[in-house]
Amino acid sequence: MRIALALATMLMVVTTASCTTAGKPALDGMSFTDEPLSGKVIWNDLITEDIDAARRFYGGLFGWSFEEINRPGRTEYNVARLGDVFVAGLLAVDRRADGQSVSRWLPYVSVTDVDEAVQRGVGQGASVAAAATDVALGRVAAIIDPQGAVIGLATSRIGDPDDATTRAAPGRVVWHEMLASETSEAASFYSVIAGLEARMITRRGGEYILLLQEGTPRAGIMARPNDEVQPVWLTHFGVSDPAVAARQAESLGGRIIVQPSPEFRDGTIAVVTDPSGAVLVLSKTSI
Amino acid sequence: MKKTFRRIMLVAVLVAGSLTTACTGNVGVGLSVGVPIGNHGYMSVGTHRWR
């Protein structure tokens, strides 16, 4: 009897210790803040119509490994790891009957109260793409901003990943950027719903809006390249060499939309799609 | 005695299992958003705006 109790206690203690530190999950290699980092993107999901192809693509391009999350009765969902850090999620969705692709990267911005942020967004002209709901990370929702760009909102129940955890590196998400039809109006909208401060900067003769959270740049807004581009949030991933990575993306079933070139942000980025058509930016990032 | 031992260990394994599940279940969203994204090909037109 005593031996059984001792063994049982040891088993639970070991399990708990491996999972929590000071009441929080100690996901190896990740650390979390006590207070929300409102305005910071704290998670990114790929919504994809071909999750098998997506695993091959991102595994080959970034060296990610994948863990399937058990969700009975729901479509397949994987979380991707790079080393010890969870970097993103991959969600399988069915194709739409009308044939239009819904594959996309969807960033989730930290807010202190998702339901309240949705209401503020709707009050500013946004519409609800996915109503607020509870998931593993915490409470989340997705909205379509007044210009048509889709963005996720999240309140994490375990704190937000700190900046050391999300530091830029190859294979990781390194930046978010909105291609807007009206840049100033977009900046005002995200100030209202996520408390971000907009700062206009000039670079290479053009205007660019940085969105800051307590002085830290969290995202950018620029005018869309032309009026045919639907306003969208783009997710940038770190790569050592955008040209090499773009070719590799192509060999893995993706497509190059914009080749890196000296005229295009000094050759530091490439825009590609994955096999199911989700757009991503490959952004030069040092180790 | 053996029965009690087995019961205690079973409970311990179940508790440990649930703790492990909660541990790996702290990340991820998985929210389905079926909004079409439009034609990306146009992004290659007007790249001079990518400052």
**Chain B contact probe: residue of A104, A177, A203, A207 with most B CBs at under 10 A:** A104
Q: What is the pLDDT of residue B22?
A: 44
**Chain B contact probe: residue of A2, A3, A9, A11 with most B CBs at under 10 A:** A11
CA distance B21 to chain A (A): 10
Question: Region A78-102: what's the mean pLDDT?
Answer: 92
A229 vs B42: CB contact, 8 Å cut-off? yes
CA distance A213 to chain B (A): 22
ipTM value for the complex: 0.72
Instruction: Please provide the average confidence, as pLDDT, over all residues in chain A.
Output: 90
A79 vs B27: CB contact, 8 Å cut-off? yes
B8 vs A150: CB contact, 8 Å cut-off? no
This prediction has a pTM of: 0.85
B28 vs A69: CB contact, 8 Å cut-off? yes
Q: Report the distance separating Cα A251 and Cα A274, nearest Å.
A: 11
A19 vs B22: CB contact, 8 Å cut-off? yes
Residue B13 has pLDDT above 60, yes or no: no
- A48-52, A180-184, A280-284, B16-20: lowest mean pLDDT where? B16-20
Question: Region A17-42: what's the mean pLDDT?
Answer: 68
At A23, is the pLDDT very low, low, confident or very high (cuts 50, 70, 90)? very low
Q: What is the per-residue pLDDT across A111-138, written as a single tens digit (0 to 9) for each?
A: 999 999 999 999 999 999 999 999 988 9
At A181, is the pLDDT very low, low, confident or very high (cuts 50, 70, 90)? very high
At A195, is the pLDDT very low, low, confident or very high (cuts 50, 70, 90)? very high
Q: Where are the beta strands (DSSP E) in chain B?
A: none
Q: Which residues of B touch A208 (CB under 8 A)?
A: 51
- Residue A1, chain B, CB below 8 Å: the answer is yes
